[in-house]
């Protein structure tokens, strides 16, 4: 990753340098073209004035061409000034008339432009061929040449005019360095360098921050992997623990329940009252422990994702009747009757084991919180594609806060039953999770001291 970022930084730096260079070249071209246009406009005006001067002075008669040339030189060419070192000049095809250049030797005067540049080439003059041809052929143009290497490029524009079969060429030359300085291009370049340097610094800071973030992310991933390994070990230990509960504890407790039932039958009406009460307490306690183990195992299996949904077709009314029969002992002891007489089959296609667990917890909850000699009403009906099961009791009920916290695992809530039956608060949480796994919904309505109603809705699956 560090190498990639380093290469990327070099790449972006090179790109920014290229952008600065291209921006400078674009600005350079604009400045030079604008200045050449200005030079061309100046010499074009000078050309028109020279042409008119020739026409006017030739009409006066007895005026030589040489005299007119000198007048044009004095009145038109000499006054031209562009920047400090801009050079105005006028050439005939065969000889120079005037050249304002401060470095123009006197012995060049009277010679043609080609002769002058060929002599000056010994001092480093170059790139003058286009301009020389323009003077010889009487054409207009623009370009650059080098008169002295130390002066660098000089940008020039020229134009020609004819009079009495003769051709004159007017030109204006300016050193490139002076043009650029006058246009303040170096300030522009410095600004561009500053802007892009700041951008490179910002990119460098971003890259450093990214490296820090990436390093922290790697450490976090490493910690998460270590935590995952520890969690897998803890899950393995938890699985082993639940396996012990499932097999090593349930079997002995089942034996205790069976023995307590047998003792209850044998001691009823035969043993002293305190012995009978102790046997009943033993049976109740072992039953509560078995319910707790069943719910705990069911909940843990569901949380671990091992509770696989296995749909089968069955009559939910039969599942309700089986649950009522399972809770017969507790209901008879409290003289609670069930109002459930649904002879019409309600067929569903869903997980029978999950439905039985939900029914066992909801109906046992109704028995637990119902007053003695009361009635628990249970009904089933088909509503569109869902089956709605209602369990309603007239027991102690719940306030609004208790109802809101009923299905929250982070809030421990357990209320004793009407005969001080104890609970864990896990059963209804398990019911909600299993209902959601079946694709259904579990709702509760309750009023304090008026009773509670549970509404179980699950897809019929048919």
**Rounded Cα gap, residues 287 and 421, in angstroms:** 11
DSSP letters, 8-47, are: HHHHHHHHHHHHHHHHHHHHHHHHHHHHHHHHHHHHHHHH
Where is the domain boundary, 152, 183, 214?
Answer: 183
Looking at the domain assignment, is residue 209 inside a domain? no
Looking at the domain assignment, is residue 344 inside a domain? yes
CA 214 to chain centre: 16
Q: Which helix (H) or strand (E) holds 53?
A: helix 2-59
The CA-CA-CA angle for residues 451, 452, 458, to 5°, reads 160
CA 238 to chain centre: 39
Q: Are residues 156 and 8 in the same domain?
A: yes
Say what the pLDDT of residue 240 is. Answer: 67
Looking at the domain assignment, is residue 251 inside a domain? no
Q: Which helix (H) or strand (E) holds 89?
A: strand 87-92
**Rounded Cα gap, residues 391 and 365, in angstroms:** 10
Number of domains in the chain: 2
- Return the closest-CA partner of residue 170 out of 69, 264, 270: 69
Looking at the domain assignment, is residue 401 inside a domain? yes
* SS3 state at 314: strand
Looking at the domain assignment, is residue 64 inside a domain? yes
Looking at the domain assignment, is residue 343 inside a domain? yes
CA 123 to chain centre: 65
Say what the pLDDT of residue 318 is. Answer: 92
Q: Which helix (H) or strand (E) holds 262?
A: helix 250-267
Q: Are residues 176 and 316 in the same domain?
A: no
* SS3 state at 386: strand
Looking at the domain assignment, is residue 386 inside a domain? yes
CATH number for the domain harbouring residue 78: 3.30.450.20
Residue 376 bridge partners (DSSP)? 338
Check: CB of residue 371 under 8 Å from CB of residue 418. yes
* SS3 state at 115: helix
Check: CB of residue 109 under 8 Å from CB of residue 90. no
CATH number for the domain harbouring residue 418: 3.30.565.10
Q: Are residues 178 and 319 in the same domain?
A: no
**Rounded Cα gap, residues 438 and 389, in angstroms:** 14
**Rounded Cα gap, residues 96 and 102, in angstroms:** 15
Residue 133 structural domain: 2-183
Looking at the domain assignment, is residue 237 inside a domain? no
Where is the domain boundary, 183, 207, 239?
Answer: 183
Phi, psi of 168 (to 5 degrees): -120, 145
Say what the pLDDT of residue 82 is. Answer: 74
pLDDT in tens, the chain (462 residues): 666 666 666 777 787 788 878 888 888 899 999 989 988 888 888 888 888 888 787 777 676 777 777 777 777 777 777 777 778 888 888 887 766 666 677 788 788 889 999 999 999 999 999 999 999 998 999 999 999 898 899 999 999 888 777 888 888 888 998 888 888 877 777 777 777 778 777 877 887 787 788 788 888 888 888 888 888 887 777 666 666 665 566 666 666 767 776 676 666 666 676 766 676 667 666 666 666 666 666 656 655 566 678 899 999 999 999 999 888 888 888 899 999 977 788 999 999 988 999 999 999 989 999 999 999 999 999 888 899 999 999 999 998 888 888 888 777 667 788 887 766 667 888 889 899 999 999 999 999 988 999 999 999 876
Where is the domain boundary, 165, 183, 201?
Answer: 183
């Amino acid at each position: 990753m560090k190498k990639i970022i380093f290469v990327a930084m070099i790449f972006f730096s090179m790109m920014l340098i290229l952008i600065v260079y291209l921006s400078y070249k674009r600005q350079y071209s604009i400045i030079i073209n604008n200045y050449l246009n200005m030079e061309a406009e100046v010499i074009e005006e000078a050309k028109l004035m020279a042409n008119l001067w020739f026409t006017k002075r030739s009409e006066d008669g007895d005026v030589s061409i040489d005299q007119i040339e000198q007048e044009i030189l004095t009145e038109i060419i000499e006054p031209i000034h562009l920047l400090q070192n801009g050079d105005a000049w006028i050439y005939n095809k065969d000889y120079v008339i005037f050249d304002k250049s401060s470095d123009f030797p006197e012995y060049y005067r009277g010679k043609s432009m080609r002769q002058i540049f060929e002599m000056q080439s010994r001092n480093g003059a170059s790139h003058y061929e286009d301009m020389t041809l323009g003077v010889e052929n009487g054409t207009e143009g623009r370009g650059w040449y080098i008169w002295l290497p130390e002066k660098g490029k000089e940008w020039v524009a020229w134009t020609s005019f004819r009079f009495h079969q003769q051709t004159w060429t007017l030109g204006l030359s300016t050193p490139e360095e002076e043009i650029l300085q006058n246009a303040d291009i170096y300030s522009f370049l410095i600004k561009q360098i500053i802007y892009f340097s700041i951008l490179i610094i910002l990119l460098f800071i971003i890259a450093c921050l990214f490296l820090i973030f990436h390093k922290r992310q790697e450490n976090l991933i490493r910690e998460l992997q270590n935590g995952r390994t520890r969690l897998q070990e803890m899950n393995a230990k938890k699985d082993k623990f639940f396996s012990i509960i499932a097999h090593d504890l349930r079997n002995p407790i089942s034996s205790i329940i069976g023995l307590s039932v047998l003792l209850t039958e044998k001691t009823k009406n035969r043993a002293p009252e305190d012995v009978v009460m102790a046997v009943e307490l033993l049976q109740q306690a072992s039953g509560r422990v078995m319910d707790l183990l069943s719910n705990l195992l069911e909940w843990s299996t569901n949380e671990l994702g091992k509770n696989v949904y296995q749909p089968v077709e069955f009559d939910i009314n039969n599942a309700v009747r089986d649950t009522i029969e399972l809770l017969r002992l507790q209901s008879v002891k409290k003289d609670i009757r069930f109002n459930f007489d649904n002879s019409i089959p309600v067929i569903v296609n869903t997980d029978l084991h999950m439905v039985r667990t939900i029914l066992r917890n909801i109906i046992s909850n109704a028995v637990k919180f119902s007053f003695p000699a009361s009635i628990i009403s249970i009904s089933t009906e088909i509503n569109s594609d869902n089956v709605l099961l209602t369990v309603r009791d007239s027991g102690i009920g719940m306030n609004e806060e208790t109802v809101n916290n009923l299905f929250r695992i982070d809030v421990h809530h357990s209320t004793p039953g009407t005969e001080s039956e104890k609970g864990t608060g896990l059963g209804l949480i398990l019911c909600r999770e299993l209902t959601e796994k079946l694709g259904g919904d579990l709702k509760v309505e309750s009023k304090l001291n008026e009773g509670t109603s549970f509404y179980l809705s699950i897809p019929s699956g048919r």
